[in-house]
Amino acid sequence: MTTDERIMKVLAASPATLAKVDAVLNGTDGVASKKEVDTRLVTFTEAAKRLNVSRPTVYRLTRLGRLDIVPLDGVNRIRLQSVFDYADGLRKSA
């Protein structure tokens, strides 16, 4: 197919086909990119190990709102993504 033939097909294309062409040109290939939400939870001890801090420091960070807690069957767990986010913030400020 020549370039002129391609241009003519694009000009005559339906809106759905044009949306697909746009997606390819934008690099998404028509697939909606959905960021997966990390729903994993960890204990205070596990969060302390991952951050290389003490458990009392993890409790302090949760009280300050720097780590997200999730009540689960009478106990609190920490959202693992908040641990990653907090660690990333420390790296960026260093």
Confidence of residue 68 (pLDDT cuts 50, 70, 90): very high
Burial (CB count within 10 angstroms: exposed 0-12, middle 13-18, buried 19+), residue 11: exposed
Please determine, for residue 23, whether its predicted confidence score (pLDDT) is greater than 70: yes
What pLDDT score was predicted for residue 61?
96
- Give the pTM: 0.59
Please determine, for residue 66, whether its predicted confidence score (pLDDT) is greater than 80: yes
Please determine, for residue 53, whether its predicted confidence score (pLDDT) is greater than 70: yes
Please determine, for residue 30, whether its predicted confidence score (pLDDT) is greater than 80: no
Q: Between 38 and 69, name the one with better pLDDT.
A: 69
Is the CB of residue 27 less than 8 Å from the CB of residue 35?
no
Is the CB of residue 20 less than 8 Å from the CB of residue 30?
yes
